[in-house]
Chain A
Protein backbone atom coordinates (compact mmCIF):
# COMPACT_ATOMS: atom_id res chain seq x y z
CA UNK A 1 0.00 0.00 0.00
CA UNK A 2 2.74 2.42 1.04
CA UNK A 3 4.86 1.37 -1.89
CA UNK A 4 2.02 1.86 -4.34
CA UNK A 5 1.38 5.30 -3.00
CA UNK A 6 5.03 6.18 -3.31
CA UNK A 7 5.14 4.93 -6.90
CA UNK A 8 2.46 7.45 -7.88
CA UNK A 9 4.39 10.34 -6.29
CA UNK A 10 6.88 11.60 -8.82
CA UNK A 11 10.05 12.99 -7.43
CA UNK A 12 10.20 16.72 -8.19
CA UNK A 13 12.71 18.04 -10.68
CA UNK A 14 15.91 19.28 -9.05
CA UNK A 15 15.16 22.90 -9.97
CA UNK A 16 11.53 23.60 -9.22
CA UNK A 17 9.41 26.39 -10.63
CA UNK A 18 10.66 28.69 -7.89
CA UNK A 19 14.24 27.89 -8.85
CA UNK A 20 13.53 28.96 -12.42
CA UNK A 21 12.10 32.27 -11.27
CA UNK A 22 15.18 33.00 -9.15
CA UNK A 23 17.41 32.02 -12.06
CA UNK A 24 15.50 34.29 -14.42
CA UNK A 25 15.86 37.22 -12.03
CA UNK A 26 19.62 36.68 -11.75
CA UNK A 27 19.92 36.50 -15.55
CA UNK A 28 17.95 39.74 -15.90
CA UNK A 29 20.32 41.45 -13.45
CA UNK A 30 23.35 40.30 -15.41
CA UNK A 31 21.74 41.36 -18.68
CA UNK A 32 21.01 44.80 -17.25
CA UNK A 33 24.65 45.30 -16.24
CA UNK A 34 25.81 44.22 -19.69
CA UNK A 35 23.37 46.56 -21.43
CA UNK A 36 24.50 49.43 -19.18
CA UNK A 37 28.11 48.67 -20.15
CA UNK A 38 29.57 47.72 -16.77
CA UNK A 39 28.89 50.96 -14.91
CA UNK A 40 31.04 49.93 -11.92
CA UNK A 41 34.19 51.04 -13.68
CA UNK A 42 32.93 54.61 -13.41
CA UNK A 43 32.88 54.28 -9.63
CA UNK A 44 36.69 54.34 -9.47
CA UNK A 45 37.48 57.99 -8.75
CA UNK A 46 39.57 59.88 -11.27
CA UNK A 47 42.67 61.79 -10.16
CA UNK A 48 40.89 65.01 -9.17
CA UNK A 49 37.85 63.15 -7.92
CA UNK A 50 39.86 61.11 -5.50
CA UNK A 51 40.98 64.21 -3.64
CA UNK A 52 37.38 65.39 -3.35
CA UNK A 53 36.24 62.02 -2.03
CA UNK A 54 39.06 62.02 0.52
CA UNK A 55 38.31 65.56 1.62
CA UNK A 56 34.63 64.79 1.92
CA UNK A 57 35.06 61.67 4.05
CA UNK A 58 37.85 63.19 6.07
CA UNK A 59 35.35 65.90 7.10
CA UNK A 60 33.09 63.19 8.45
CA UNK A 61 35.08 63.08 11.66
CA UNK A 62 35.01 66.78 12.33
CA UNK A 63 31.66 68.30 11.40
CA UNK A 64 31.70 72.08 11.42
CA UNK A 65 30.78 73.93 14.60
CA UNK A 66 30.79 77.29 12.87
CA UNK A 67 30.74 78.42 9.24
CA UNK A 68 33.86 77.57 7.28
CA UNK A 69 34.15 80.99 5.67
CA UNK A 70 33.10 84.47 6.62
CA UNK A 71 29.35 85.05 6.45
CA UNK A 72 27.47 88.33 6.29
CA UNK A 73 26.77 89.93 9.63
CA UNK A 74 23.48 88.86 11.19
CA UNK A 75 23.57 85.30 9.81
CA UNK A 76 22.45 82.93 12.57
CA UNK A 77 25.13 80.55 13.83
CA UNK A 78 25.55 77.29 11.91
CA UNK A 79 23.98 75.14 14.55
CA UNK A 80 20.91 77.36 14.82
CA UNK A 81 20.68 77.37 11.03
CA UNK A 82 20.86 73.56 10.94
CA UNK A 83 18.17 73.24 13.61
CA UNK A 84 15.93 75.71 11.78
CA UNK A 85 16.38 73.72 8.57
CA UNK A 86 15.57 70.51 10.46
CA UNK A 87 12.45 72.14 11.89
CA UNK A 88 11.34 73.24 8.43
CA UNK A 89 12.01 69.72 7.15
CA UNK A 90 9.70 68.28 9.79
CA UNK A 91 7.06 70.97 9.19
CA UNK A 92 6.99 70.24 5.45
CA UNK A 93 6.70 66.53 6.17
CA UNK A 94 3.98 67.04 8.77
CA UNK A 95 1.94 69.29 6.49
CA UNK A 96 2.23 66.81 3.64
CA UNK A 97 1.37 63.86 5.85
CA UNK A 98 -1.71 65.50 7.32
CA UNK A 99 -3.04 66.04 3.80
CA UNK A 100 -1.96 62.55 2.75
CA UNK A 101 -3.63 60.84 5.72
CA UNK A 102 -6.98 62.53 5.14
CA UNK A 103 -6.87 61.79 1.40
CA UNK A 104 -5.52 58.29 2.07
CA UNK A 105 -8.39 57.53 4.45
CA UNK A 106 -11.05 58.68 2.00
CA UNK A 107 -9.45 57.01 -1.03
CA UNK A 108 -8.55 53.94 1.03
CA UNK A 109 -12.20 53.53 1.98
CA UNK A 110 -13.33 53.62 -1.66
CA UNK A 111 -10.43 51.40 -2.75
CA UNK A 112 -11.32 48.69 -0.25
CA UNK A 113 -13.76 45.96 -1.17
CA UNK A 114 -15.19 45.69 2.33
CA UNK A 115 -17.80 48.39 1.90
CA UNK A 116 -19.52 46.94 -1.12
CA UNK A 117 -18.35 43.56 -2.39
CA UNK A 118 -19.31 41.32 0.50
CA UNK A 119 -23.07 41.55 0.95
CA UNK A 120 -22.90 41.22 4.70
CA UNK A 121 -26.62 40.97 4.95
CA UNK A 122 -28.87 39.10 2.56
CA UNK A 123 -31.21 40.79 0.14
CA UNK A 124 -31.61 40.86 -3.58
CA UNK A 125 -33.35 42.92 -6.20
CA UNK A 126 -32.55 45.07 -9.16
CA UNK A 127 -31.90 48.17 -7.08
CA UNK A 128 -29.34 46.41 -4.98
CA UNK A 129 -27.63 45.04 -8.07
CA UNK A 130 -27.62 48.50 -9.60
CA UNK A 131 -26.03 49.96 -6.49
CA UNK A 132 -23.38 47.25 -6.50
CA UNK A 133 -22.51 47.93 -10.13
CA UNK A 134 -22.15 51.63 -9.31
CA UNK A 135 -20.03 50.80 -6.27
CA UNK A 136 -17.82 48.55 -8.38
CA UNK A 137 -17.24 51.39 -10.82
CA UNK A 138 -16.30 53.78 -8.01
CA UNK A 139 -13.93 51.16 -6.60
CA UNK A 140 -12.19 50.58 -9.95
CA UNK A 141 -11.89 54.31 -10.64
CA UNK A 142 -10.36 54.88 -7.21
CA UNK A 143 -7.86 52.09 -7.76
CA UNK A 144 -6.77 53.63 -11.06
CA UNK A 145 -6.47 57.07 -9.44
CA UNK A 146 -4.33 55.65 -6.62
CA UNK A 147 -2.01 53.90 -9.04
CA UNK A 148 -1.61 57.17 -10.94
CA UNK A 149 -0.74 59.07 -7.78
CA UNK A 150 1.80 56.50 -6.67
CA UNK A 151 3.48 55.84 -9.97
CA UNK A 152 4.93 59.35 -10.11
CA UNK A 153 7.67 59.84 -7.51
CA UNK A 154 7.56 62.83 -5.17
CA UNK A 155 10.65 64.31 -6.83
CA UNK A 156 8.89 64.22 -10.21
CA UNK A 157 5.78 65.77 -8.69
CA UNK A 158 8.09 68.47 -7.30
CA UNK A 159 9.54 69.11 -10.76
CA UNK A 160 6.04 69.40 -12.20
CA UNK A 161 4.80 71.75 -9.48
CA UNK A 162 7.97 73.85 -9.63
CA UNK A 163 7.35 74.35 -13.32
CA UNK A 164 3.66 75.07 -12.79
CA UNK A 165 3.61 77.18 -9.62
CA UNK A 166 7.21 78.11 -8.98
CA UNK A 167 9.13 77.74 -5.76
CA UNK A 168 6.46 77.98 -3.08
CA UNK A 169 5.64 76.00 0.03
CA UNK A 170 2.44 74.54 -1.39
CA UNK A 171 4.34 72.96 -4.30
CA UNK A 172 6.61 71.04 -1.93
CA UNK A 173 3.78 69.97 0.36
CA UNK A 174 1.65 68.80 -2.56
CA UNK A 175 4.59 67.03 -4.20
CA UNK A 176 4.98 64.88 -1.10
CA UNK A 177 1.29 64.62 -0.24
CA UNK A 178 0.11 63.23 -3.58
CA UNK A 179 2.25 60.08 -3.90
CA UNK A 180 2.05 59.51 -0.15
CA UNK A 181 -1.75 59.72 -0.22
CA UNK A 182 -1.71 57.11 -3.00
CA UNK A 183 0.52 54.76 -1.04
CA UNK A 184 -1.43 55.26 2.17
CA UNK A 185 -4.72 54.67 0.34
CA UNK A 186 -3.43 51.43 -1.15
CA UNK A 187 -2.12 50.09 2.14
CA UNK A 188 -5.11 51.35 4.15
CA UNK A 189 -7.50 49.65 1.76
CA UNK A 190 -5.64 46.37 2.14
CA UNK A 191 -5.61 46.66 5.92
CA UNK A 192 -9.33 47.38 5.92
CA UNK A 193 -9.98 44.38 3.70
CA UNK A 194 -7.88 42.13 5.91
CA UNK A 195 -9.55 43.21 9.15
CA UNK A 196 -11.94 40.62 10.59
CA UNK A 197 -15.48 41.39 9.45
CA UNK A 198 -17.50 39.58 12.08
CA UNK A 199 -18.35 42.65 14.14
CA UNK A 200 -19.30 44.70 11.08
CA UNK A 201 -21.55 41.92 9.84
CA UNK A 202 -23.10 41.59 13.28
CA UNK A 203 -23.82 45.32 13.35
CA UNK A 204 -25.53 45.16 9.98
CA UNK A 205 -27.54 42.18 11.12
CA UNK A 206 -28.71 44.39 13.98
CA UNK A 207 -29.94 47.09 11.62
CA UNK A 208 -26.85 49.29 11.29
CA UNK A 209 -26.20 50.86 7.90
CA UNK A 210 -23.12 50.07 5.83
CA UNK A 211 -21.40 53.32 6.85
CA UNK A 212 -21.99 52.68 10.54
CA UNK A 213 -20.79 49.10 10.32
CA UNK A 214 -17.70 50.31 8.49
CA UNK A 215 -16.86 53.06 10.97
CA UNK A 216 -17.49 51.14 14.17
CA UNK A 217 -17.14 47.49 13.21
CA UNK A 218 -14.37 47.44 10.65
CA UNK A 219 -12.29 50.60 11.01
CA UNK A 220 -11.44 50.13 14.72
CA UNK A 221 -10.02 46.72 13.93
CA UNK A 222 -7.78 48.04 11.16
CA UNK A 223 -6.84 51.23 13.01
CA UNK A 224 -3.82 50.00 15.02
CA UNK A 225 -2.10 48.77 11.86
CA UNK A 226 -3.08 51.90 9.98
CA UNK A 227 -1.57 54.09 12.71
CA UNK A 228 1.66 52.09 12.75
CA UNK A 229 1.99 52.37 8.99
CA UNK A 230 1.26 56.11 9.04
CA UNK A 231 4.10 56.64 11.53
CA UNK A 232 6.45 54.77 9.27
CA UNK A 233 5.35 56.87 6.30
CA UNK A 234 5.93 60.03 8.34
CA UNK A 235 9.53 58.95 8.75
CA UNK A 236 9.76 58.51 4.98
CA UNK A 237 8.14 61.90 4.46
CA UNK A 238 10.85 63.56 6.56
CA UNK A 239 13.52 62.08 4.29
CA UNK A 240 11.59 63.09 1.18
CA UNK A 241 11.15 66.59 2.54
CA UNK A 242 14.91 66.84 3.20
CA UNK A 243 15.68 65.72 -0.34
CA UNK A 244 13.23 68.24 -1.83
CA UNK A 245 15.65 70.88 -0.50
CA UNK A 246 17.86 70.13 -3.48
CA UNK A 247 15.21 71.87 -5.59
CA UNK A 248 15.52 74.99 -3.46
CA UNK A 249 12.88 74.43 -0.79
CA UNK A 250 14.33 75.60 2.56
CA UNK A 251 14.74 72.16 4.12
CA UNK A 252 17.94 70.35 5.15
CA UNK A 253 18.57 69.31 1.55
CA UNK A 254 18.92 72.95 0.56
CA UNK A 255 21.53 73.62 3.22
CA UNK A 256 23.37 70.45 2.26
CA UNK A 257 23.50 71.27 -1.43
CA UNK A 258 24.55 74.87 -0.77
CA UNK A 259 27.40 73.80 1.52
CA UNK A 260 28.41 71.12 -0.94
CA UNK A 261 28.61 73.56 -3.82
CA UNK A 262 30.88 75.76 -1.71
CA UNK A 263 33.05 72.71 -0.94
CA UNK A 264 32.30 73.20 2.78
CA UNK A 265 32.35 69.49 3.55
CA UNK A 266 32.43 69.92 7.31
CA UNK A 267 29.22 71.92 7.10
CA UNK A 268 27.69 69.20 4.91
CA UNK A 269 28.47 66.70 7.65
CA UNK A 270 26.88 68.91 10.26
CA UNK A 271 23.67 68.96 8.28
CA UNK A 272 23.86 65.23 7.54
CA UNK A 273 24.34 64.50 11.23
CA UNK A 274 21.34 66.65 12.13
CA UNK A 275 19.28 64.76 9.54
CA UNK A 276 20.44 61.40 10.89
CA UNK A 277 19.64 62.41 14.47
CA UNK A 278 16.26 63.67 13.31
CA UNK A 279 15.40 60.41 11.56
CA UNK A 280 16.56 58.33 14.51
CA UNK A 281 14.58 60.51 16.93
CA UNK A 282 11.43 60.09 14.87
CA UNK A 283 12.06 56.38 14.61
CA UNK A 284 12.32 56.07 18.40
CA UNK A 285 9.25 58.22 18.97
CA UNK A 286 7.10 56.46 16.38
CA UNK A 287 8.37 53.09 17.54
CA UNK A 288 7.22 53.76 21.07
CA UNK A 289 3.83 54.98 19.83
CA UNK A 290 3.53 51.98 17.53
CA UNK A 291 4.19 49.58 20.38
CA UNK A 292 1.56 51.31 22.46
CA UNK A 293 -1.01 51.18 19.64
CA UNK A 294 -0.45 47.70 18.33
CA UNK A 295 0.15 45.93 21.63
Chain B
Protein backbone atom coordinates (compact mmCIF):
# COMPACT_ATOMS: atom_id res chain seq x y z
CA UNK B 1 0.00 0.00 0.00
CA UNK B 2 1.07 3.57 -0.51
CA UNK B 3 -0.02 4.97 2.84
CA UNK B 4 3.50 5.43 4.14
CA UNK B 5 4.09 8.00 6.85
CA UNK B 6 5.60 11.35 5.93
CA UNK B 7 8.94 11.01 7.80
CA UNK B 8 11.34 13.37 6.10
CA UNK B 9 9.42 13.53 2.86
CA UNK B 10 8.11 16.88 1.60
CA UNK B 11 4.45 17.66 2.18
CA UNK B 12 2.48 16.31 -0.76
CA UNK B 13 0.25 18.77 -2.64
CA UNK B 14 -2.58 16.27 -2.69
CA UNK B 15 -3.13 13.55 -0.17
CA UNK B 16 -6.01 11.15 0.39
CA UNK B 17 -5.86 9.44 3.75
CA UNK B 18 -8.27 6.53 4.05
CA UNK B 19 -10.86 8.53 2.12
CA UNK B 20 -14.25 7.07 1.21
CA UNK B 21 -17.18 8.62 -0.62
CA UNK B 22 -20.61 7.04 -0.43
CA UNK B 23 -23.45 7.92 -2.79
CA UNK B 24 -26.73 6.44 -1.51
CA UNK B 25 -24.85 3.76 0.37
CA UNK B 26 -22.81 2.80 -2.68
CA UNK B 27 -19.08 3.42 -2.40
CA UNK B 28 -17.86 5.59 -5.26
CA UNK B 29 -14.48 5.57 -3.60
CA UNK B 30 -13.44 3.28 -0.76
CA UNK B 31 -10.57 3.77 1.68
CA UNK B 32 -8.32 5.52 -0.83
CA UNK B 33 -4.73 6.40 0.02
CA UNK B 34 -2.85 8.59 -2.41
CA UNK B 35 0.04 11.05 -2.26
CA UNK B 36 0.91 13.34 -5.11
CA UNK B 37 4.03 15.51 -4.82
CA UNK B 38 4.48 18.97 -6.26
CA UNK B 39 5.16 18.95 -9.97
CA UNK B 40 4.17 15.33 -10.49
CA UNK B 41 2.13 14.21 -13.49
CA UNK B 42 -0.29 11.40 -12.72
CA UNK B 43 -2.90 9.59 -14.78
CA UNK B 44 -5.93 7.99 -13.18
CA UNK B 45 -6.91 4.99 -15.27
CA UNK B 46 -9.64 2.44 -15.03
CA UNK B 47 -13.03 1.51 -16.44
CA UNK B 48 -15.90 4.00 -16.23
CA UNK B 49 -17.52 4.10 -12.83
CA UNK B 50 -14.22 3.23 -11.15
CA UNK B 51 -14.19 6.44 -9.09
CA UNK B 52 -11.79 8.56 -11.16
CA UNK B 53 -14.10 11.56 -11.33
CA UNK B 54 -14.98 11.28 -7.64
CA UNK B 55 -11.31 11.26 -6.76
CA UNK B 56 -10.64 14.38 -8.81
CA UNK B 57 -13.66 16.16 -7.37
CA UNK B 58 -12.47 15.34 -3.86
CA UNK B 59 -9.17 17.06 -4.54
CA UNK B 60 -10.83 20.35 -5.46
CA UNK B 61 -13.36 20.06 -2.63
CA UNK B 62 -16.32 19.68 -4.99
CA UNK B 63 -17.19 16.49 -3.09
CA UNK B 64 -16.87 16.00 0.66
CA UNK B 65 -15.58 12.65 1.87
CA UNK B 66 -17.94 10.43 3.84
CA UNK B 67 -14.96 9.30 5.90
CA UNK B 68 -11.22 9.81 5.87
CA UNK B 69 -9.37 12.99 5.06
CA UNK B 70 -8.44 15.04 2.03
CA UNK B 71 -5.31 17.17 2.42
CA UNK B 72 -4.34 19.81 -0.08
CA UNK B 73 -0.94 21.39 0.50
CA UNK B 74 -0.96 19.81 3.94
CA UNK B 75 -4.28 21.39 4.95
CA UNK B 76 -7.25 19.24 5.86
CA UNK B 77 -10.09 20.49 3.63
CA UNK B 78 -12.68 19.71 6.28
CA UNK B 79 -11.02 22.15 8.68
CA UNK B 80 -10.92 25.06 6.25
CA UNK B 81 -13.36 27.96 6.37
CA UNK B 82 -15.53 28.68 3.35
CA UNK B 83 -13.33 31.64 2.42
CA UNK B 84 -10.08 29.65 2.68
CA UNK B 85 -11.66 26.85 0.66
CA UNK B 86 -12.64 29.29 -2.08
CA UNK B 87 -9.11 30.69 -2.11
CA UNK B 88 -7.78 27.17 -2.51
CA UNK B 89 -10.19 26.31 -5.32
CA UNK B 90 -9.26 29.49 -7.14
CA UNK B 91 -5.71 28.12 -7.51
CA UNK B 92 -6.67 24.65 -8.75
CA UNK B 93 -7.47 24.51 -12.44
CA UNK B 94 -10.07 21.94 -13.40
CA UNK B 95 -10.66 20.86 -16.97
CA UNK B 96 -14.09 19.26 -17.10
CA UNK B 97 -15.15 16.34 -19.19
CA UNK B 98 -17.91 18.40 -20.83
CA UNK B 99 -15.63 21.47 -20.76
CA UNK B 100 -18.35 23.53 -19.00
CA UNK B 101 -17.73 26.64 -21.08
CA UNK B 102 -20.42 29.24 -21.64
CA UNK B 103 -21.16 28.77 -25.35
CA UNK B 104 -22.64 32.20 -26.06
CA UNK B 105 -19.80 34.19 -24.51
CA UNK B 106 -16.63 35.20 -26.28
CA UNK B 107 -13.53 33.06 -25.94
CA UNK B 108 -11.87 35.94 -24.07
CA UNK B 109 -14.70 36.01 -21.54
CA UNK B 110 -14.55 32.27 -20.98
CA UNK B 111 -10.81 32.50 -20.37
CA UNK B 112 -11.07 35.52 -18.08
CA UNK B 113 -13.81 33.68 -16.14
CA UNK B 114 -10.87 31.69 -14.77
CA UNK B 115 -10.11 34.65 -12.52
CA UNK B 116 -13.60 34.85 -10.95
CA UNK B 117 -12.38 32.96 -7.90
CA UNK B 118 -9.74 35.55 -7.08
CA UNK B 119 -11.81 38.68 -7.76
CA UNK B 120 -14.56 40.31 -5.74
CA UNK B 121 -18.00 40.55 -7.30
CA UNK B 122 -17.77 44.09 -8.70
CA UNK B 123 -14.24 43.60 -10.00
CA UNK B 124 -15.31 40.38 -11.69
CA UNK B 125 -18.20 42.19 -13.41
CA UNK B 126 -15.69 44.72 -14.70
CA UNK B 127 -13.27 41.99 -15.82
CA UNK B 128 -16.01 40.09 -17.65
CA UNK B 129 -17.69 43.04 -19.35
CA UNK B 130 -14.85 45.56 -19.75
CA UNK B 131 -11.59 43.64 -19.53
CA UNK B 132 -8.47 45.79 -19.20
CA UNK B 133 -5.85 45.52 -21.91
CA UNK B 134 -3.59 43.80 -19.36
CA UNK B 135 -6.21 41.10 -18.83
CA UNK B 136 -6.77 40.71 -22.55
CA UNK B 137 -3.02 40.48 -23.14
CA UNK B 138 -2.74 37.72 -20.59
CA UNK B 139 -5.72 35.81 -22.02
CA UNK B 140 -4.35 36.26 -25.51
CA UNK B 141 -0.89 35.05 -24.44
CA UNK B 142 -2.34 31.88 -22.95
CA UNK B 143 -4.51 31.23 -26.01
CA UNK B 144 -1.44 31.79 -28.16
CA UNK B 145 0.39 29.19 -26.12
CA UNK B 146 -2.37 26.60 -26.50
CA UNK B 147 -2.48 27.32 -30.22
CA UNK B 148 -5.68 29.31 -30.79
CA UNK B 149 -4.53 32.90 -30.27
CA UNK B 150 -6.55 34.16 -33.23
CA UNK B 151 -9.84 33.04 -31.64
CA UNK B 152 -9.68 35.57 -28.78
CA UNK B 153 -12.81 37.53 -29.68
CA UNK B 154 -14.89 34.81 -31.31
CA UNK B 155 -18.02 33.38 -29.84
CA UNK B 156 -17.11 30.15 -28.09
CA UNK B 157 -19.83 28.11 -29.78
CA UNK B 158 -18.35 28.94 -33.19
CA UNK B 159 -15.24 26.90 -32.34
CA UNK B 160 -14.59 23.23 -33.10
CA UNK B 161 -14.52 20.61 -30.34
CA UNK B 162 -10.74 20.56 -30.22
CA UNK B 163 -10.52 24.34 -30.09
CA UNK B 164 -13.08 24.51 -27.29
CA UNK B 165 -11.01 22.03 -25.36
CA UNK B 166 -8.11 24.44 -25.61
CA UNK B 167 -10.32 27.25 -24.36
CA UNK B 168 -11.13 25.13 -21.30
CA UNK B 169 -7.42 24.53 -20.73
CA UNK B 170 -6.71 28.24 -21.21
CA UNK B 171 -9.37 29.10 -18.64
CA UNK B 172 -7.71 26.77 -16.14
CA UNK B 173 -4.30 28.34 -16.84
CA UNK B 174 -5.74 31.84 -16.46
CA UNK B 175 -6.45 30.94 -12.84
CA UNK B 176 -2.67 30.94 -12.28
CA UNK B 177 -3.10 27.53 -10.71
CA UNK B 178 -0.46 25.46 -8.97
CA UNK B 179 -2.20 22.28 -10.07
CA UNK B 180 -4.39 21.18 -12.95
CA UNK B 181 -6.95 18.44 -12.57
CA UNK B 182 -8.40 17.16 -15.83
CA UNK B 183 -11.36 14.81 -15.97
CA UNK B 184 -11.40 12.80 -19.21
CA UNK B 185 -10.32 15.91 -21.10
CA UNK B 186 -10.34 14.07 -24.42
CA UNK B 187 -13.64 12.23 -24.34
CA UNK B 188 -15.12 14.36 -27.11
CA UNK B 189 -12.37 14.42 -29.75
CA UNK B 190 -10.77 11.99 -32.15
CA UNK B 191 -7.72 9.97 -31.05
CA UNK B 192 -5.10 12.08 -32.84
CA UNK B 193 -6.42 15.26 -31.22
CA UNK B 194 -6.70 13.48 -27.88
CA UNK B 195 -3.00 12.68 -27.93
CA UNK B 196 -2.11 16.28 -28.77
CA UNK B 197 -4.31 17.59 -25.99
CA UNK B 198 -2.92 15.35 -23.28
CA UNK B 199 0.63 16.00 -24.47
CA UNK B 200 -0.11 19.73 -24.38
CA UNK B 201 -1.44 19.50 -20.81
CA UNK B 202 1.69 17.62 -19.76
CA UNK B 203 3.94 20.15 -21.48
CA UNK B 204 2.13 23.16 -20.03
CA UNK B 205 2.33 21.74 -16.53
CA UNK B 206 5.99 20.78 -16.91
CA UNK B 207 7.04 24.23 -18.11
CA UNK B 208 5.20 25.95 -15.26
CA UNK B 209 6.01 23.44 -12.55
CA UNK B 210 2.34 22.59 -12.02
CA UNK B 211 1.07 19.35 -10.60
CA UNK B 212 -1.09 17.48 -13.11
CA UNK B 213 -3.64 14.79 -12.40
CA UNK B 214 -5.60 13.62 -15.38
CA UNK B 215 -8.18 10.85 -15.61
CA UNK B 216 -8.17 8.90 -18.84
CA UNK B 217 -10.08 5.92 -20.02
CA UNK B 218 -7.61 5.55 -22.88
CA UNK B 219 -4.92 3.44 -21.28
CA UNK B 220 -2.56 3.62 -24.25
CA UNK B 221 -2.59 7.40 -24.12
CA UNK B 222 -1.91 7.43 -20.39
CA UNK B 223 1.05 5.04 -20.71
CA UNK B 224 2.50 7.00 -23.57
CA UNK B 225 2.44 10.42 -21.95
CA UNK B 226 2.24 10.22 -18.18
CA UNK B 227 5.00 8.90 -15.94
CA UNK B 228 2.82 7.64 -13.08
CA UNK B 229 -0.37 5.61 -13.27
CA UNK B 230 -3.00 5.12 -10.61
CA UNK B 231 -5.39 2.30 -11.50
CA UNK B 232 -8.90 2.40 -10.09
CA UNK B 233 -11.57 -0.23 -10.20
CA UNK B 234 -14.89 -0.34 -8.40
CA UNK B 235 -13.94 2.60 -6.17
CA UNK B 236 -10.61 1.10 -5.06
CA UNK B 237 -7.08 2.00 -5.98
CA UNK B 238 -5.77 -1.21 -7.52
CA UNK B 239 -2.25 -0.07 -8.31
CA UNK B 240 -0.19 3.08 -8.07
CA UNK B 241 3.21 2.89 -9.75
CA UNK B 242 5.48 4.52 -12.21
CA UNK B 243 4.36 3.73 -15.73
CA UNK B 244 7.27 1.39 -16.50
CA UNK B 245 6.55 -0.64 -13.38
CA UNK B 246 2.95 -1.37 -14.35
CA UNK B 247 2.70 -4.83 -15.89
CA UNK B 248 0.36 -6.15 -18.54
CA UNK B 249 -1.12 -8.33 -15.82
CA UNK B 250 -2.08 -5.16 -13.87
CA UNK B 251 -3.91 -3.79 -16.89
CA UNK B 252 -5.73 -7.02 -17.55
CA UNK B 253 -6.78 -7.09 -13.93
CA UNK B 254 -7.95 -3.47 -14.17
CA UNK B 255 -10.19 -4.01 -17.17
CA UNK B 256 -11.22 -7.61 -16.36
CA UNK B 257 -14.88 -8.02 -17.19
CA UNK B 258 -17.29 -8.38 -14.33
CA UNK B 259 -18.81 -11.83 -13.71
CA UNK B 260 -15.65 -13.88 -14.24
CA UNK B 261 -15.55 -14.48 -10.52
CA UNK B 262 -13.24 -12.91 -7.98
CA UNK B 263 -9.63 -13.91 -8.41
CA UNK B 264 -7.75 -12.65 -5.41
CA UNK B 265 -8.01 -9.35 -3.59
Which residue from A198, A208, A224 sits with its C-beta under 8 Å from B96? A198
Chain A interface category by residue count: 20 to 34
Q: Which residue in chain A gives the minimum CB-CB distance to B60?
A: A205
In angstroms, Cα B87 to Cα A212, docked, is 15
Which B residues are in CB contact (< 8 Å) with A122?
A: 57, 61-64
B102 touches A206 (CB 8 A): no
Which B residues are in CB contact (< 8 Å) with A124?
A: 64
Q: How many A-B residue pairs have CB under 8 A?
A: 87
B105 touches A220 (CB 8 A): yes
Q: Which residue in chain B gives the minimum CB-CB distance to A124?
A: B64
In angstroms, Cα B124 to Cα A214, docked, is 12
B94 touches A202 (CB 8 A): yes
B85 at interface by CB-CB < 8 Å: yes
In angstroms, Cα B97 to Cα A205, docked, is 14
Mark each residue of chain A from 147 to 190: 1 if its CB lies under 8 Å from any CB of chain B, else 0: 00000000000000000000000000000000000000000000
Answer whether A199 and B85 are a contact pair too, CB < 8 Å, given A122-B61, A209-B121. no
In angstroms, Cα B102 to Cα A215, docked, is 11
Which A residues are in CB contact (< 8 Å) with B57?
A: 122, 205
B222 at interface by CB-CB < 8 Å: no
A205 touches B102 (CB 8 A): no
Which residue from A199, A205, A216, A220 sits with its C-beta under 8 Å from B62? A205
A-contacting residues, B39-71, CB 8 Å: 57, 60-64
In angstroms, Cα B105 to Cα A203, docked, is 14
A290 at interface by CB-CB < 8 Å: no
Q: Which chain B residues have a beta carbon within 8 Å of chain A's beta carbons?
A: 57, 60-64, 82, 85-94, 96, 98, 100-105, 109, 113-114, 116-119, 121, 124-125, 128, 172, 175
Q: A201-B62, A206-B94, A208-B117 known; 15 other A-B pairs, CB under 8 Å?
A: A121-B61, A124-B64, A198-B96, A198-B100, A202-B96, A204-B89, A206-B92, A207-B88, A209-B116, A209-B121, A212-B119, A212-B121, A215-B128, A216-B128, A221-B103
Q: Which chain A residues have a beta carbon within 8 Å of chain B's beta carbons?
A: 121-124, 198-199, 201-209, 211-213, 215-217, 220-221, 223-224
7 contacts across the A-B interface (CB closer than 8 A):
A121-B62, A121-B89, A205-B60, A206-B172, A207-B118, A216-B116, A221-B103
